[in-house]
Amino acid sequence: MDTEVLIVGAGPVGLTLSIDLGKRGVRCILIEKNDAPLGYPKMERCNPRTMEIFRRLGLADAVRAAGYPPDWPMDTYLVFDLMRPPLLKMAHPTVAQSKARRDATTDGSMPLEPYQIISQYTLEPLLKSAAERIPNLAVRFGHELLSYTEEPGGVAAHVRKTSGETITIRARYLVGCDGGSSVVRKQLGFKMEGEPHLLEMRQALFHCPELYGKVCAPRARHYHRIDDHWTLMIVQDSRKHFTLHAVVEKDEDMAALFEAIVGTPVRYEMMHCAKWVQRLLLAEHYQQGRVFIAGDAAHLVIPTGGLGMNTGVGDAIDVSWKLAATLRGWGGPKLLQSYEAERRPIGAINVKASGGGTAGRMKWRAAYRPDIEDDTPSGRAALANLLTIARAEAPKSFRVIGAELGYRYAGSPVICDEPGGPAPNIEDYVPTSWPGARLPHVWLVPGETSVHDRIADGFTLLQLGRNREDASGLRKAFSAIGAPLSVLDIDSEAARRVYGFDYLLVRPDLHVVWRGDALPKDPDKVARVVTGH
């Protein structure tokens, strides 16, 4: 074999997967068909869970330094243009305010890391350079996967370089992080289920450094223009670049709309313009044999709510430790199989959540009337009606913290689940240590060290109660399988209160796999289940 894992596609998902696998000591090759990272805008919001994952990878500070400054307003507005007073404000805390709230919270309800705005075209080069620093990871741009063949014990990938030369790369496992038109998914024969064509939009990127010196509108993250084009302006991480999304006939219309939303003459350059289609799709499967798909290759959402890349980063972090465990010999046969069992239901929930958020936007957009800007009784009535609907509906697309932090791998074959369990809740996050859930964040040293920071790369038994039983049975059980287990004493009343049990067993991706007030009576069984045996 040339490598242990071949990752196809150096978007944010493939890059995150390769960094995590690389840090776990797995030999990998990451191939990307383009010669350089993405040069145009797509996502801009890393959600809190993605930022927690970047913290574990040692990247959170670098991501924050490259994105919005911590005090940049995150509010979103409905406007006619940026020279007139906004018509509706949806207030959101800044990163600095979120951090202050987190530091004053002890009930586990806040994420360890707040969200961060960073443009995808800034994030990808940052992740690429982090990947290139990992010695056991080869990053090869200008390498396009054409097809692959399954062979005994591995996969042979047929790859064309930019030069035209074709080569074969042999790997034990292959993960297709190759986006919405995934070659890997197509070769697997997995259909995408859902809505393939909801709305065709254009996105244009404008460079306009003088904008905030000229307009009256408050600084913000998004400005929705009240019109019949669905115009949305997104302030990119530099605050000098702006993307505009709209339903228009031709590229030139985007420049006219930019001028219309700005509302005063400014010097600007339109740097990029392209069509994109809103879709809500989920692959019927996520894996077959030694081949997996992750990210947009497996699910496509409408960007509203930011559940695209962020869901993909969740896929990456789930499959990564399972691949590493299997390659190192301690992952049992059910471990890799559990990837689809755990991540596809989350993909389904997030596709639905993104559709729900967009439905709210459609409602207030549908209330647009051509005379809405007129100072006439009918114009004023139309505006009042639209704003009433928007006040109720527009914030819905932002209420996804439950989907971001509260997802739980209910019914997973590698979790010692308990009967019952909280139902998925997209809008609200209720901290829980229920098996399958992400371990809630609790500070051990306020503002500095979280319980998360003390969790090792393998399994960790948290001992939270006053009486600590002899954990040698569990240690022996893991050791017999060859799986790493650390035992961590947590002397924190806040943690004991939030987690609700004296003992918690947590796996490498910070999901709880077992909990109890006494150590398990059958430690061998617990160790076997959670390692996939």
Ligand X SMILES: Cc1cc2nc3c(=O)[nH]c(=O)nc-3n(C[C@H](O)[C@H](O)[C@H](O)COP(=O)(O)OP(=O)(O)OC[C@H]3O[C@@H](n4cnc5c(N)ncnc54)[C@H](O)[C@@H]3O)c2cc1C
What is the binding site for ligand X (CB under 6 A)?
Answer: 8-14, 31-34, 42-45, 120, 144-145, 177-179, 183, 203, 276, 295-296, 303, 306, 308-310, 312
Shortest gap between Cβ of 337 and ligand X (angstroms)?
A: 22
Closer of 167 and 216 to ligand X (Cβ): 167
**Rounded least distance, CB 262 to ligand X, Å:** 20
How many C-beta atoms surround the C-beta of residue 275 within 10 A?
A: 10
Q: Residue 523 belongs to what H/E stretch?
A: helix 523-530
Q: Which is nearer to ligand X, 184 or 437 (CB)?
A: 184
Task: Provide the minimum distance between the beta carbon of 117 and ligand X in the complex, in angstroms, as a whole number.
Answer: 8
Distances in Å between the Cα of 16 and the Cα atoms of 13, 57, 124, 232, 478 are: 5, 9, 10, 29, 28
CB 433 → ligand X: shortest distance, Å?
26
Q: Which is nearer to ligand X, 400 or 464 (CB)?
A: 400
> What is the closest distance, in whole angstroms, from the C-beta atom of residue 242 to ligand X in the complex?
13
Q: In the complex with ligand X, which residue's Cβ is closer, 177 or 327?
A: 177
Could you tell me the smallest distance in angstroms from the CB atom of residue 385 to ligand X?
Answer: 29
The kind and range of the H/E element at 443 are: strand 443-445
509, 172, 29, 486 alpha-carbon torsion, rounded to 10°: 30
- Which one, of 174, 188, 223, lies nearest residue 6 by Cα? 174
- In the complex, the smallest distance separating the C-beta of residue 467 from ligand X, rounded to whole angstroms, is 44
Grouping H, G, I as helix, E, B as strand and the rest as coil, residue 71 is: coil
Residue 194, H or E segment: strand 192-207
Toward ligand X, which CB reaches closer, 220 or 504?
A: 220
Tokens standing for residue 289: 């044999």
Q: Nearest to residue 30, comparing CAs of 118, 165, 124?
A: 124
Q: What CA–CA distance (Å, rounded) separates 431 from 42? A: 31
Cβ proximity to ligand X, 235 vs 504, nearer residue: 235
Q: Nearest to residue 157, comparing CAs of 36, 294, 22, 2?
A: 2
Query: Distance between CA 359 and CA 304 in Å, rounded?
Result: 10
Token couple for 481: 């399988």
